[in-house]
Structure 1
């Protein structure tokens, strides 16, 4: 269950309370395999714990990196926080508005223009039309889309998708920002602009949850790291120690 709550001054803004997320993996894919499994009374599914009883809390204004190898449960954690997924068991509590960019072009409709998708994506993130209109010029300027803003987004490159989506997310009204591997797109100059905007949001007191494989990026942006390994939280602490723990797991 995912809930929001009214905080006291010392309350965390995110709580993961013994959260488990289980998916059923299908064994039999062909008709023949399905029939044989039924005849032999074999289970066609296998339970896979993407997250296995994970518990942590995040204080207001913290910037936390979620680290781990592919398949460790990082993106599942962000999707649970955003409400895209629901936990199988345990509870998730968040305080305030949650906004995020969980994948390139998430929330975009390919047949709509960039302009139309700005309004659509902003609405998904909880912004009113008036709020979007007030920030529209800043969103477009930051994304560097230029005259392509009135082009259908199905004609955009992946980098253009990511720049526009990221720009909408960071200009939205939010208390918690979730970012999943989008700071690796674009040229070095644009990536540095993204980092500068993230630091600006940090200075304004926003809480951030960031997934990245780049140790350099998370050192710049985060004070704390949570390391996941096959769905289990194996470390939670200072970012340099978290990076060391992740690198140790890769050996």
Structure 2
């Protein structure tokens, strides 16, 4: 029953992405779906993997670490998409292939040091603040080039690109257009940093229209969020 429900939702989300790509004159293959599984159990992650999803996102280490361990044998790329404190870096680096929320030099340096210790590379995105809400994280657009340069020069890290969340109650299309401009400026300096992580269940169409390469979708895939219980 749950597998059929998720399969139906996945088909709907895939069609939404495909339609957004058609409207924007883009190829469907340019946009990767990240299934955000926060508050959902490892069983749902396994179902998504069975259905062909290969990218999974989490935003709280205390939930993500045990879930990733339970799903260790699956062919998944794990994305950490939430705000990250430096005291959680060691744990996150163990399972995360991509960290979307790097918004300060100290955090980038800590991730790099831990990645080197663990003998791996972590792809990092600069989180860009598109509003004035300090609790949501992100660096102001003017500070992005400096932080991007630091990430690119830090052993253990690979600069992936940029990430942002649309302002609450704001114009998502205008925000994502700003993000695209920031992303292009980063790519001028770092041509391989092509990732633009933007768009969620409610605004993925606007994100795709403005260059998103990775959309982070949870509710539309898995239903209304509930308290996670292991």
TM-score by structure 1 length?
0.34
Instruction: Say which structure is richer in helix.
Output: 2
TM normalised by structure 2 equals: 0.37
- The one of the two structures with greater contact order (alpha-carbon pairs below 8 A, sep at least 6) is 1
Question: Greater CA radius of gyration, 1 or 2?
Answer: 1
